[in-house]
Chain A
Amino acid sequence: MLKIKVNDTEIEVEDGLTVLQACEQAGAEIPRFCYHEKLSIAGNCRMCLVEMEKSPKPIASCAMPVTNGMNIKTNTPLVEKARKGVMEFLLANHPLDCPVCDQGGECDLQDQSMFYGIDKSRYKENKRYVPEKYMGPLIKTQMTRCIHCTRCIRFAEEIAGIDELGAIGRGEEMQITTYLEKSMQSELSANVIDLCPVGALTSKPYVFEARPWELKKTETIDVMDAIGSNIRVDTYGWEVKRVLPRINEEINEEWISDKTRYSCDGLKKQRIDTPLIKENNIYKKIEWEKALNIVAEKIKNTLPEKIAGLTGDLTNMETLFIVKEFFEKTIKSKNLDCRAENTYVNTENRKNYIFNTPLNKIEESDLILLIGTNPRFEGTILNLRILKAYRKNKTKIYSFGDIGELTYPYEVIENKTDIIKKIIEEKHNLSEIIKNAKKPIIILGQSVLKIKSSKYIFNEFKRFLEKNNKINNDWQSLNIFSNNASTVGAYDLDLINPDNSENFTLKSIKNNEFDIIFLFGQDNLKFIKKNEFIIYVGSHGDKGAEFADLVLPGSAYTEQDGYFTNLEGKIQKAYKASYPPGEAKEDWKIVNELANLIKRKKLFNDKNELNESMINYLKSKKVKVSRNSEKNEFVSEEILVEDIDYYYSNVISRASTTMTQCRNEKLNLKKNGTEG
């Protein structure tokens, strides 16, 4: 601990802090542009000048380490004068276009010039003009406004891991650009918009849409992937205007992926806003009452065994729970599953299907083994943590099969299940490496859980790790990487066949054994339809609604309150920011009304009752009896990581124009090669 004085108050601070951080702890706010706590120190904006005793000149507090006995002053006339001088230089070339700048109202330069700016300019010279730079479909540039803080450059290099931004030229002519104005490659690229303290980098899809003070802000949870990033949804009336990250050090720090940020325009497009029925292959509008009556009639006239249901990727836990109750109590059918594919899951213990290593502890790891997963596209935020681990401890990273650029180097292992068998049987050099690692992380992706020997791989690998004391109370090394926001929640609520190994519902659907199939926001089902009556409950007209006979309009994640459990098993609540379009209803209400029609009794009286019984269900869940005696079948095969269409992975992003643009950009790049 070091003792320093800040504005004549003595405080003790930790070793290794900068003066700026120490001042912040002492409660003295210091203006800054280039300094950002998550990025390296640049010290080039000079806004954070403070006075230090025995120093003839003011010092840049962001770059000065604290030493014992320092006497810092942040409120003297000298400091004020110095900062005013810096501000005057910054404004010398900054255009006075705040009225037409999208950053207006949330601009650091604007705010700080209210304190340190001078009302009149002493410069008669022309201001510098910098041509606009192309950075892709997400980032709009107005480089004349740039104050050269280099936050964006440091972000691309240090956090996103793809070194693609740079400053060309020098002095007044310095310009921030990508190499030859190529679009940015990173899936985290739009975070530079938040980082930019001025309006040089602004959001292209949000351009001239709204002012920050006009928007209603709702703090909620993202559902684009299983990470559960904390976001803030800004709405103007019904419309979701934009999505911004919210700081949560345990999950997403303060970054979100481009898909999270820009899928929101998909909430306005392709929406189902009224119940539809298919007659002679044409969808016709019908009233809610009629639609629900048709469903009730159908259910009453069908045997329970002939009714099946699948829930989707973005379904919240309340809906999952009420669907479960609906199937168990109202229909009395067991054919309900959350998996549209034959994914292996062992629900005996919660630890068997969640990502056991907390996201913020990934960086402590010294060995990461990726089996059947591409973290860059499946969970961009998780990939960022792996990069952090690599940067911090030079973590060795292995992957089964070459999965392309991941922003960090990794060693490719042949993608054969035989290799896994060899590791488990300690015939491969990786077994020693795993044994010697202090904090290994083994990540099993969805691709490996879909192959024939998935059961063998999971259970035997777990046994191998347990034997070598790699799964204990301090460190859980085996992790399952879920891809969808609803997956872990659905497993928690047991929306799967009692027998874990196979998805019988799906098998029977594929064999056309059912008469009625419910799809609750499920769009990934692939089967050849025969005589089934398919009912789709969901928000977007996509693959699921396409082959449905009856479509009931539901709500998207921003239009209803709902819990989501992220891949590490953290339960978080998403709040209602907007309301469903047209005649669409909240998902749980649809199921509740349907139950009312069939049994003349609602499943739940209100949302609170539903929430309470869901929470009770989760709390009273018992650990199931393990059935280790079962044989784990091993098949020698290849582990192929599924090619993920990153920008088109769910209904909302498929409906989004921005995501389509991003996807086209990427496809073009693939066609023309990365070099220009």
Chain B
Amino acid sequence: MSMKKISKNQPVNFEFNEENKILSKKIISNYPTGRQKSAVMALLYIAQRQNNNWIPLSAMKYIANFLNISYIKVYEVATFYSMYNLAPVGKYFIQVCTTTPCMIRGAYKLVEACREKISKEENKISFTSDCSWMEVECLGACVNAPMVQINEDYYEDLSKEKMIKILDKINKDEKIYPGSYRGRKNSEPENGRKTLIKN
């Protein structure tokens, strides 16, 4: 994992919308007095959701002022966790898991597909559609390896061909379906269910 790059094009201002203001106040109230700054992670996530899935510096400052902590403390947290994006990502944000189980099952084929269909480099928004990809560490779906996460959903049991099909659909902005692409339900065994079968 390499250091996350911070976008050069930063919006000047950031402020929570009304809905998120209420939400963030509710989250902060969950913490005991004097420990409000612990809400920083939740607030960063709210900011990320509000701002097209990435956190600008102005949002970090806003959160720092919101929680009355220094900028560097928010910045530390935002750079530490890999799931905070510090530069703009596509409308379809594809995270390809390349940790060992997925890698063994051919995750790098999926990376190849991404390179062909989206962009040669990670974290670059494609020209054809509003889409970007990046390699990530384990997403916890090793049983269904290899897999990718597109926005909020998991797409599992993939191969290069299947991945290309998904990406083609994305490029045409067609609807795609999450879940296993080999027809199995959840994380059931390879050749159908063998235990807990109803008599």
Contact = CB atoms under 8 A, between A and B. Distances in A.
17 contacts: A163-B73, A164-B72, A165-B72, A166-B72, A166-B73, A166-B75, A166-B76, A167-B76, A168-B75, A168-B79, A169-B3, A169-B79, A178-B72, A179-B72, A179-B75, A180-B75, A675-B61
A168 B76 contact: yes
Interface of B: 1-4, 57, 61, 69-73, 75-76, 79-80
Given A169-B80, A180-B75, 15 more contacts: A163-B70, A165-B72, A166-B72, A168-B3, A168-B75, A168-B80, A171-B1, A173-B3, A175-B3, A178-B72, A179-B71, A179-B72, A179-B75, A180-B57, A675-B61
B149 to A, nearest CB: 20
A169 B3 CA distance: 6
Interface in A150-180: 163-171, 173, 175, 178-180
A163 B76 CA distance: 12
B121 to A, nearest CB: 18
A169 to B, nearest CB: 5
Contacts of B80: 168-170
A246 B76 CA distance: 33
A470 B3 CA distance: 57
Which 4 residue pairs across A and B have the least CB separation, nearest first? A166-B72, A163-B70, A168-B79, A166-B76
Grouping DSSP codes into helix (H, G, I), strand (E, B) and loop, the B interface class, with mixed when no group exceeds half, is helix
Interface of A: 163-171, 173, 175, 178-180, 675
Grouping DSSP codes into helix (H, G, I), strand (E, B) and loop, the A interface class, with mixed when no group exceeds half, is mixed
A284 B73 CA distance: 58
A179 B71 CA distance: 7
Nearest to B57: A180
B72 A173 contact: no
B55 to A, nearest CB: 13
Nearest to A676: B57
Contacts of A178: 72
B84 to A, nearest CB: 12
A338 to B, nearest CB: 42
Contact of A163 (B3, B57, B72): B72
- Candidate in A170, A171, A175 with the most chain B CB atoms within 10 angstroms: A170
Contacts of A179: 70-72, 75
Nearest to B72: A166
- Candidate in B61, B70, B72, B79 with the most chain A CB atoms within 10 angstroms: B72
Given A173-B1, A173-B2, A175-B3, A164 B70 contact: yes
A223 to B, nearest CB: 33
Contacts of B57: 180
Contact of A169 (B4, B69, B70, B73): B4
A49 to B, nearest CB: 26
Contacts of B2: 173
A163 B73 CA distance: 8
A280 to B, nearest CB: 58
